[in-house]
Amino acid sequence: MIAFTRLEDIKNIEKTAVAMGSFDGMHRGHVELIGRAVAGAAQNGLKSAVFTFSNHPKNALAGGIAVQNIQYPEDKAAIIEALGVDYLFSLPFTDQIRGMRRDAFVEELLRGAFNMAEAFCGFNFHYGHRAEGDAESLRAAGALLGFPVRVMEAVRVDGEVVSSSLIRSLIAEGRMEECARFLGRNYFVKGEVIEGRRLGRTLGFPTLNVGMDAGMAVPAHGVYVTECVAEGERFAGVTNVGVRPTVEGEGRRLVETHLFGFEGDLYGRVVRVAFLKKLRDERRFESVESLARQIERDCREARAFHKLKIQ
């Protein structure tokens, strides 16, 4: 796959079948749409392409974090490449693109820069200045300019429409098993292991403190069954997301992961923590000793979930 991150670098490309959208979660609906574009390109002798933005338009307009991310850019690109896409147009949502009227968006960007011969979009696709263009106006432009437009209806899971906003709400509520059904994989965060107070070690449950990207969605405060990828290996674990009210009051939010069967030092290394199931809410305990007993119960329950030997 050839990835373009600047509009001016896109030159002399072959005719394309382009899947368009924010693809901000690469959920089941996004994967289905891109798969259709790849199949359509193969059928019609075109190159398959994905057009998306490297920054969320709502965040660009707000000048800050208005919408939390549920996918890291490098993982988004990896999934797109794995689907067999030839070209990835991952462009920043700039004032130039934001100010394009819908006709200019089609003629100058889609047809001109991307050499688009076939378009694929979702039923709720919008484009152009103030999102004035939609799937129907794109169909009309296609009829006029001579390219087909394939509009995909909503993808549903258990009767509910798959959407990034729904997935964000499930993450915010800690409903990780439901999240995985709509996302098509377990939701994960990743970050550098940073120094902490080593309280977990004194309680007999050493943890990794994972530094978080402020722009990423983080599950509701609580304790979760998790899986961690560290140094190329997978470890079953249990993770606390929260502020450690028993020992610190209402401090800063932390993601602390205890790995089963791991001994070593990962400070400064980047790890990935996938959330599988919420065990309980975070709460304040009457003593550090009662907290330690609860952590032991959490570990036993997480081990049972992972089908590991309970120790």
In which band, very low, low, confident or very high, does the pLDDT at 204 lie, cut at 50, 70 and 90?
A: low
In which band, very low, low, confident or very high, does the pLDDT at 49 lie, cut at 50, 70 and 90?
A: very high
User: Of 197 and 297, which is predicted with more confidence?
Assistant: 297
Neighbours of 72 (CB within 10 A): 16
Q: Which two tokens stand for residue 32?
A: 């289905």
Q: What percent of the chain stands above pLDDT 70?
A: 93
Q: Is the confidence at residue 248, as pLDDT, over 60?
A: no
Q: Check: pTM over 0.85? Answer yes or no.
A: yes
Neighbours of 256 (CB within 10 A): 21
CA-CA-CA-CA torsion for 25, 31, 34, 39, nearest 10 degrees? 170
For the domain bounded by 2-157, which CATH number is listed? 3.40.50.620
Give 89-115 pLDDT, tens digit per residue: 999 998 889 899 999 999 999 999 999
From the options 1.10.8.100, 2.40.30.30, 3.40.50.1100, 3.40.50.300, give the CATH code of 186-305: 2.40.30.30
Give 159-203 pLDDT, tens digit per residue: 999 999 999 999 999 999 999 999 999 999 999 998 766 555 555
By the 10 Å C-beta count (0-12 exposed, 13-18 middle, 19+ buried), 6 is classed as: exposed
Where exactly are the structural domains of the chain?
A: 2-157, 186-305
Q: Check if 2-157 and 186-305 are the same fold.
A: no
| β pairing state of 149-152 and 156-157 | unpaired
Q: Is the confidence at residue 262, as pLDDT, over 60?
A: yes
In sequence order, what DSSP letters do the residues of 226-246 get, joined into one string? EEEEETTEEEEEEEEEE--HH
Residue 276: predicted pLDDT:
97
Q: How far is CA 266 from the centre of its chain?
A: 24
